Structure 1
Amino acid sequence: MKIILTQPVTGLGEAGDVVDVKDGYARNYLLPRKVATAWTKGGQKQVDSIKAARDKRAVRSAEDAAAAKARLEGAEITVAARAGSGGRLFGAVTPAEIAEAIAASGGPSVDKRRIEVRTPIRNVGDHAVHVRLHEDLAADVTVSVVASA
C-alpha cells in the first residue's frame, strides 16, 4: 500500500515521503496514529507542500542542529528518579523525562521522539543516549540518573 508520511517515522522516512508498506502496517499502525495518509493522485499536492516546507527549513535547521549538538555534548544532563536500595529504579527513565532534563539544563528543546534509548534505563548511574537532531546529524549524550529523595 502506498502512503504519504505526515511525520517522521524511524526506519521508514521523513514527512512528505511516499513509501510502500504492507497493508496491515499501514491500516493498523500508521493511519490510526495519524502518522501517514493514504496516497491518492490528489494527495500529491500535499506531498509537494510538505516537501517545500521541509526544504525551506532544512538549511536553517542544519545550522541550528550543529549549534545544538555542540551545546548538548557539553551539557551535564541529570534526571532524578525514584530508586530502591541498590540503585534499581522503580520503572524506567523515559525519553520524555530526558527531553525535560535537557531543557531544564539549558539545552535546546528536543522532541522526545528524536531521543533513542538503546537499552532501558533502569539503574542509577551514567547512561549513553542518542539524540537525532537533523537527518545527517546526531549527538551522543550522557545522562546521569540520580536517586530522588
Structure 2
Amino acid sequence: MQVILLQDVENLGHQNDLVTVKDGYGRNYLIPRKLAVEANPSNLKQLEQRKKAERRKEEALLATIAQVKEALQASPLRIGAKVGTSGKIFGSVTPVQIAQAIKSQKGYEIDRRRIHLLEEVKELGVYTARIDFGKGNEVDVQFEVVAE
C-alpha cells in the first residue's frame, strides 16, 4: 500500500513523502492517527500542489536572504564599546550587540542565536561574525569595534 505522510514518522519518512508500507500498518496505524493518507489520484494531486507551493515559498525566502546578504556585506557595522586605558574593552562584544547594530544600522532584525562570533572580541578593531540563515545559507559580516 502506498501512503503520503502528513507528518514526519520515525524510521519511515518525512512529511509529504510517498512511501510503501504493509496494508495493515497503513490502515490500522498511520491513517487512523492522521499520520498519512492513502495515495489515491486526488491525494497525489494535492501533494503536487503542496510541493509547488513549498518550492515557491522557498524561492521567495532565498531571494530575501540574498537581499539581506548584500546589505550586510555592503559596509562594516560599527559597534561602540567602553574602553579602558590599555585599549581593551570592558567585557566583550556579544551576538546580542551585533543583532542590535544590524537592526539600527541596516534595518534588518536577525535573531541573536543565528549569529556566531569567529573569535572573542575583547579589543578595538575589525572582526568577523558568521550569520547562519539555515539550509546552508551563511554570510560573514565584518564589524568594527570603536570607542564610545
TM-score range, shorter chain: 0.5 to 0.7
Partner of 1:111: 111
Following TM superposition, by how much is the alpha carbon of 1:112 offset from its aligned partner in structure 2, in angstroms? 0.5
Consecutive unaligned residues in structure 1, runs of 5 or more: 1-15, 20-40, 46-51
Name 2:64's counterpart in structure 1: 64
Q: Larger radius of gyration, structure 1 or 2?
A: 2
**1:74 Cα deviation (Å)?**
0.4
Name the structure 1 match of 2:96: 96
Instruction: For residue 77 of structure 1, report the CA deviation from its aligned partner.
Output: 0.5
Query: Matched residue of 2:122: which SS?
Result: strand
In structure 2, distance between residues paired with 1:95 and 1:74: 20
The 1:18–1:71 alpha-carbon spacing in structure 2 relative to 1, beyond 3 Å, is farther
1:60 is displaced (CA, Å) by 2.1
Alignment of 1:1-149 (within 5 A): 55=54, 57-148=57-148
Gaps of 5+ in 2: 1-6, 11-29, 37-50
Deviation, 1:111, is 0.9
**Identity score, percent:** 27
Contact 1:65 1:134 in 2 (8 A): no
Query: TM-score, normalised to structure 2's length?
Result: 0.60
Q: Is the 8 A contact 2:78 2:146 kept in 1?
A: yes
Q: TM-score, normalised by structure 1?
A: 0.59
Question: Offset of 1:86 from its aligned partner?
Answer: 2.5
Q: Contact between 1:117 and 1:129, CA under 8 Å: does it hold in 2?
A: yes
Give the partner amino acid of 2:121: I
- Report how far residue 58 of structure 1 moved: 2.9
Contact 2:77/2:102 (<8 A) preserved: yes
Task: Provide the alpha-carbon RMSD of the alignment.
Answer: 2.8
Tell me, yes or no, if the aligned pair for 2:72 and 2:106 is still in contact at 8 Å.
no
